[in-house]
Amino acid sequence: MKTIRRLSIMLVAVLCFTSCKAQQTAGPNPNEIVNTNSSSNNTLPGASVMAFGPNNVLFVGDSKTGILYAIETSGNELKDPVAFNLNGIDRSIAKTLGVSASDLIFNDMQVHPQTQEAYISVKRGFAPDAESVIVKVSPSDGNISLVDLSKMTQIKIKNIRTDDFELYGRPSERLNITDIDYHDGYVYVAGLTNGEFASTLRKIAYPFSDKQEAVAGIEMYHAVHIQNETRAPIRTMTFEEVNGESTLIAAYTCTPLVSIPTSEIKEGNHIKAKTIAELGYGNTPIDMITFTAQEQDGSYDRKLLIINKERSASLISLKDFAESNKGDGMKGFSMGPEGTKIFPVPMSGTMHIAEQNVMMLASLERDIDSGSVNLVSELKGAYFRLSNFDSEYEFPDYKYTETEPWQDFHNMVKPIEGYPELVRKN
């Protein structure tokens, strides 16, 4: 009970720390969203993955063509934490593009560091030549608009894999670029290559020039398969300082979590990644982010959050990751989760995640009941939406007891999620 009270106090403290505006903002009604721009002259051949870089430049990787784009973005800074509560965002985006919601394929989402707008890349249909569009969604009023592509540079990635093959009917060309991230003057591009080692990691200097570097391959130990592997590409990655050293943290399919010192990522080098954890067999990681969140004792800690396709999300303290990284890495057989302390959090159905502001994470999630796609905000420290559950607390005859630790938290969260009328006084 003491632990629950401390957790409740911690979450309330996080909420009180931020603006009251966020507590009172229910978010716009998707049926009232204003749509601007037309889709003409705003399309790309493909937009598989995205990442923001310096001066709010949006990097976009196209796995099919092997092109990396850099798009200049701008907008007014939003300082207050305002929640997304946009159920059925797929229908609203489809209306903007003049297509059916069932024809949209959601590829990625990022949040603009200055405006807090959600940038969402979608493919307009299932045809091989269907083009992609990037829309941005405002948390303040839910306005949907197309991203201006007039200020854009691009570079062709060298030596992408050309001998396409299928994985259970899915073309392997989608693995040419599996993730991108910007770090210290370079865009890092993970994916497949035409080399001896299929999995590679490229460094492309930005602003773009002719300078491209590629490591000779990445080898990592896969505990489920009990072997070192070089074929599978990194699926999601991020950069952090670990034990005083710049480090790439990456996750693979089925599901080794590894560390690679940034200093080893250089032209021609064959990397042997250190396997820190096995996240659990039969799974594909979708997104990986790091952020700072408040602990139960009031202190702050850096967190690593990994969104999984077939499992609950994996929350890891970077302190625990750093401690595990001091060893030699995992050996032997494991179906996971194992290797470092992993806390599962209830974010099933999440398609993409991004840090939104000091208080919230933006989540693009598939509603398992309706099948629609929602754009919502998750509270750091909670990592779930109260409104996603049929809770006993909401039954008309339920009454909180004097020892009940959750009433203040529930009353704080409900207005943020768009349900101020459900605040209870007893």
Assign 202 to helix, strand or coil.
strand
Q: What is the pLDDT of residues 305-328, one digit of tens each?
A: 999 999 999 999 999 999 999 999
For 12-78, the DSSP string reads: HHHHHHS-HHHHH-----GGG--EES-STT-EES---EEEE-GGGPEEEEETTTTEEEEE-------
**pLDDT (tens digit per residue) in 345-385:** 999 899 999 999 999 999 999 999 999 999 999 999 999 99
- Cβ atoms of 220 and 228 closer than 8 Å: yes
CB-CB contact of 173 with 164 (8 Å): yes
Right CATH number for 32-384 from 3.40.50, 2.130.10, 3.30.70, 2.60.40?
A: 2.130.10
Tell me which H or E stretch contains 91.
helix 89-97
pLDDT digits (tens, 9 = 90+) for 113-122: 999 999 999 9
Indicate the pLDDT class of residue 171, thresholds 50, 70 and 90.
Answer: confident
CB–CB of 54/72 below 8 Å?
Answer: no
pLDDT value of position 1: 41
Tell me the two tokens of residue 149.
């592509």
Three-class SS state of 328:
coil
Is residue 19 very low, low, confident or very high in pLDDT (cuts 50, 70, 90)? very low
Residue 408 dihedral angles phi and psi, to the nearest 5°:
-60, -40
Structure tokens of 294? 């408040």
Q: Sort strands 144-146 and 256-261 into parallel, antiparallel or unpaired.
A: unpaired
- pLDDT digits over 387-401, tens only? 998 888 889 899 998
Count other C-beta atoms under 10 Å from residue 387's C-beta. 17
